Amino acid sequence: MKRTAGFVAAMMLITCQPAWATRMPIHDMAESPQYGPKVGGMLGRGILNITTCFVDLLVNIANETRNGPPIVGPLVGVGKGAGCTTLRALSGGVDLLTFWVPGFNGMPVSDSYNNCLAGLSDAESVAPEATPASEPAWQPTRTATPAPAPVQPKEERPVYTK
């Protein structure tokens, strides 16, 4: 029993220590188009995501408690942390189950534990310029509107009374 606990503790220290870095070589290997590095990278990223998924819960609770209102902040942190923990664990599971599939590089989540969805907006496609033919003719066409000019805050002057 002591051996097992020692082994688990050693594996957690070896695996979790580099997990605090923002980007590691294992992430680049997992996204490689070459099969050899991809297999090793996806195995490593999957193990890393599964063993460190609980960190998302702790980080989100701490951040939202610090930034939010007294009761609402921790509750929002628990919700965000549970969602990010689940997403990271599922991503690790997909990596471990599909590391052998050629051409499939998994379902990566953000490298940062502050926001598990950061950087994933790059994968979103840009809407086409023309409206699809299936849209009804009565709908207005979508055009880009310029952003409004930033509003300068008014300078507050002290009020003096006699």
CA angle 124–79–49, rounded 5-degree value: 60
Q: Which two tokens stand for residue 48?
A: 């890393």
With contact defined as beta carbons under 8 Å apart, do 139 and 51 qualify? no
Q: What angle do CA 127, 132, 138 make, to 5 degrees?
A: 115
CA distance linking residue 103 with residue 111, whole number of Å: 21
Residue 129 has pLDDT above 50, yes or no: no
**What value does the mean pLDDT take over residues 123-149?**
52
78-106, pLDDT tens digit by residue?
999 999 999 999 999 999 999 999 989 98
The predicted pLDDT at position 109 comes to 86
Quick check: 111 pLDDT over 70? yes
Q: 161: which residues sit within 8 A by CB, 6+ positions away?
A: none
Mean pLDDT of 98-118: 86
Handedness of CA 65, 71, 76, 79 (dihedral sign): positive
For residue 25, pLDDT beyond 90: no
Task: List all residues 6 or more positions away from 125 whose beta carbon is below 8 Å from its beta carbon.
Answer: none
144 pLDDT band, cuts 50/70/90, is low
Q: Assign 78 to helix, strand or coil.
A: helix
Is residue 3 within 8 Å of 11, Cβ to Cβ? no
First to last CA, the chain: 79
Average pLDDT over residues 151-161: 71
The per-residue pLDDT for 84 is 93
What's the mean per-residue pLDDT of the chain?
77
- Its sign, for the CA torsion 64, 69, 75, 76, is negative
Q: Give pTM, 2 decimals.
A: 0.61
Provide mean pLDDT across the span 26-39.
89
* Band of residue 155 on the pLDDT scale cut at 50, 70, 90: confident
pLDDT per position as a tens digit, 40-82: 999 999 999 999 999 999 999 999 999 988 899 999 999 999 9
**What is the rounded distance in angstroms from the CA atom of residue 42 to the CA atom of residue 159?**
64
